[in-house]
Amino acid sequence: MGERLKELDRSAEELAETVHVPIEYVKDLIAGRRRPPLPGRTDLYSPMTSFLKLGRNELAECASAERASTAPAKLSPPKPSVLRLLLALCEPDTAKNLERRRAKHGDAELTGFVQRLLALTQVAVLRVLADRVTLRVAAERSGSTFAAARLKVLEFLDTTPESLTVEHMERFIQPRISQWGIDLQTGVLRIVMQGQDAPAAHRRRPNSSGTTF
């Protein structure tokens, strides 16, 4: 990306302004200090592609390849402070069962469930990027900038169980999820969204990365 900017005689600042993110975000991407976001979890690649005058899917394909080459062998569990908040949202009986199973078998099972819950929340949060008016209003109310508010969303969309923070919980997950649970026999994930009476069930099905939902 840095070389392409030089070829076009354009700056990182101009690119950041085009895609409405802080300049530090673009500089981190160029320097490799930040991994490129998942193509399906961002709105950056289309305007970046136009700005850099690249092929339609060139950036997205490069990002997918880079992430695939650096994917961890297994998921790491959430921080204890985050896990407490997640289990507080869980159906009480299910939370107790999950804790017992975790003590006996380790973190892998619970971390997988957290990943599924997180992925479903990220799908819902992705819609926030399209609602620029609401995002601008929220930024103004919090004394932030539109670019900084977008960055908060983009960073959550790229988080994992391991990098999930208390702020992510308070800003994105708790306002959306009233309660969640899982049938440990069938693998059906049950989610009650805020303002929803009945749980939505998400059966296990493989996606392209092998994760189940």
What tens digit of pLDDT does each residue of 63-99 get? 999 888 887 778 899 999 999 999 999 999 999 999 9
- In this model, does residue 207 exceed pLDDT 70? no
pLDDT of residue 1: 85
pLDDT in tens, 52-64: 999 989 999 999 9
Residue 200 has pLDDT above 80, yes or no: no
User: What is the chain's percent helix, strand, coil content, to nearest 5?
Assistant: 60, 10, 35
Between these two residues, 74 and 29, which has the higher pLDDT value? 29
The neighbouring-strand residues paired with 201 are 190
pTM: 0.85
Q: pLDDT tens, 131-149?
A: 999 999 989 998 999 999 9
The pLDDT score that the predictor gives to residue 197 is: 55
Q: What pLDDT, on a 0 to 100 scale, did the predictor assign at position 80?
A: 96
Helix axes 23-31, 12-19, angle to 10 degrees: 120
User: How far apart are the C-alpha atoms of 179 and 189, rounded to whole Å?
Assistant: 11
